[in-house]
Amino acid sequence: MSNSEKIKDKLEKDKVNSVREELFEFDIIGMNCNGCAASIKTYIEKLDGILKVDINFANESGEIIFNSEKFSKLKIVSEIRKLGYEVSGEDEEYISEQLKKKNLKDQRLKIIVSASLSLIIMILSMKDHIHLPEFLHLPEKILLPVLTILSTVVIFWCGAKFIKGAWNSLRSLSFDMNTLISLGSLSAYFYSLIITINIVFDLNISALATSSEVYYETGAMIITFILIGNYLESVMKSKTQTSVQKLKDLQAKVVNVIRDGNEMFIPFKKVRVNDIVLIKTGDKIPVDGKIIEGYCVVDESAMTGESLPVEKSTGDDLMSGTVLRNGFVKMQAVLVVSDTMLSKIISLVKNASSSKPKIQKLADKISSVFVPIVILISIFTFAYWHLIAGAAFDRSLLFAVSVLIIACPCALGLASPIAIVIGVGRAAENGILFNNADAIENLKNIDTVCFDKTGTLTTGKMSVKNIYTRNGFSEYELMKYIYSVEKLSSHPIAKSVKLHAIDNNVLPYNKVSDFKNESGFGVSALVNDKKVLIGNEELFRKNNINFPEIFYNSGYTNLFVSIDNKISGIIEIEDKLKDNAANVIKELKSKKLNIYMITGDSENAAGKTATELGIKNYSFKTLPDEKEQIISKLQKKNKNVAMIGDGINDAPSLARANVGIAVGSGQDIAIDSADVIFVKDDLTNIMKSIVISEKTVRIIKQNFFWAFFYNAVAIPLAAGLFVPYGIYISPVMAAMLMAFSDVVTVIGNSLRLKYVKLDK
């Protein structure tokens, strides 16, 4: 690369880096199918200043990243509204709900009008086949204009959204369900209009038709049935999104705070860090924080799945989204607005619901060519019946229209998203959060489960069991040195040592400097100008400190203490197994899964835990990067590995695993560190998450099967393939089948996920 090219490349990079990116999240009301979402995406992507667009039909939402120097949120809203859709921003949840209600109300009105007029059109069109009062036997030159006016209202007002959707898809050079519906209904309408003009004005254009029959009722009934299907789809789709709505309902809208000595009520989004929040019986806890005064009983079931209320007092943490059932507390806000646990969970559930698993990619490819293929089949159907089979023009047209109407591209597009929305929501109700849709698909394929030990299989609530001293130190004096160093660490073991020191009234030295935390090894510092090391054997070997001849191999975690490079004591740490750990391991083994335990603990402590749980494969004294290497080796042996850890220290191994599962509780969870997060520190969620994964993927595959099966049977049937056997479908029957295909084959099947039993 020449110097000029390098300079140009740098300028281009600087230009890209200087772009002021902004994210706009919003709801879209009025989409009929996946094609609508695709049309919006294609249209918006072409606008200058738009960097990335994601439109999701299943949960009726969108995300756009744009250059704020060239574009604005108001401009985005304006452009989408030009396409005929309503938009509400991320801060307009109430407006969004009202727009959705208005949209459903408008749909109901148009269904009533369309059904009523279609019924009248049907009756008038069948005057020669049913007994009607004399005054309804209108002359043909009056009847046909009446039918024209009535069907015009149905097709161009009641069915306006289909025509508008077809026009939008044409502008973006894509084709969707709206295209098929519009082509089908308009073909019947304009054919009938030509016949009407021919008869009413006595034009005698016999070449245009071989009969005087009109098919206004066909065009009108097509619109009516599709409107009914769309309405049922909207209602059932709203039921799939109840989990996110339930989470949103947990957010307090108004918060009672004390700021600058004044008590006031402010909106949730105005709460600041360190505000004092007042919470009384029955209140939703609005933000994450720490109790500074009072006592309460909290219902955390909505967030963790824990059915029993939890008692909280001064010093305890409170989590947003939970409800104070009894008591009164003052809480200092720690995490507010989008940083709260509830906000992160809502975001996580929405993002996972919007993402697509790998299995959907094939369907997307098929959907992209589905409508053009159907149009070609329709043209071929007309050509065959009229030019080869010698059928009348109008009969051939009806076969072609039936093909257009009966085809259902939406079923393919909805097969995965609807199931994902319900599966992710069902998981969230049980305190299980999927970070992406791929995690749902991958989890069912795992054959190997690797566990971290401390805090995962054990409680993580460590306690000092024994302290042994050497080199003439008394236990109290040794603890002064230990406490002086450990008070600067936030490690769980350090917390247990600090609590032990406080319980024994040990006072730390004040003169502490040069504190260092060596991840996976231990800590060190200068205390009263003496070098103090506290950690595992590796830390001491690194510092060339000799061990005594006798080690304490009790099966507990051993921490060694050196002062001025001499072993001066050993701390024995006890960590109990979780109550359900043994049963969970047993259940996983019953599913023929390989179980591994990977821990940084000592050989004896690791061996004791492995023996108690019946785990044959385990490693000890394993550093974070070595955990990742173990998982990588298992994957090279074609193992699908799930790694289960605390989401913080195990980040590299969680990222390396096919599925990383972070087990935590409350604010301690690292939301972005894993594919799956357990809000509640409960290992039984492992089995629940596997069940959700298996059931969701099974439903997705069933949805694809029914979507393909429906189209594979329906299209040949509509094309007249079985006419020799006396079986054929009219356009009206095709409209009925198409209208209910999504509701029955995809959405109805997916809703079964809401009632799947997760406990086995």
Write a three-state SS string for 193-222: HHHHHHHHCCCCCHHHCCCCCCCHHHHHHH
Provide the CB-side half-sphere exposure for 204 (13 A, CA). Answer: 0
Which H or E run contains 51? strand 50-56
Which residue of the set 27, 275, 283, 452 is catalytic? 452
559 - beta bridge partners? 571
| 452 is known as an active-site residue | yes
**Is residue 436 classed as helix, strand or coil in its secondary structure?**
coil
CB-based contact 720:406 (threshold 8 Å): no
Distance CA 155, CA 182 (A): 9
Distance CA 302, CA 306 (A): 8
Structure tokens at 29: 């009301």
The one-letter amino acid code at 721 reads L
Measured N-to-C along each axis, helices 731-741 and 393-406 cross at an angle, to the nearest 10 degrees, of: 0
Phi-psi region of 390 (alpha: psi -120 to 50; beta: other; left: phi over 0): left
Q: What is the CA radius of gyration of the chain?
A: 34
In the numeric block, the tokens 């989990």 are attached to 243
Provide the CB-side half-sphere exposure for 701 (13 A, CA). Answer: 7
Which H or E run contains 594? strand 594-598
In the numeric block, the tokens 């596997």 are attached to 690
What is the CA 363 to chain-centroid distance, rounded?
A: 19
Distance CA 676, CA 581 (A): 19
- Dmax over Cα atoms in the chain, in whole Å? 122
CB-based contact 605:558 (threshold 8 Å): yes
- Which are the catalytic amino acids? 452
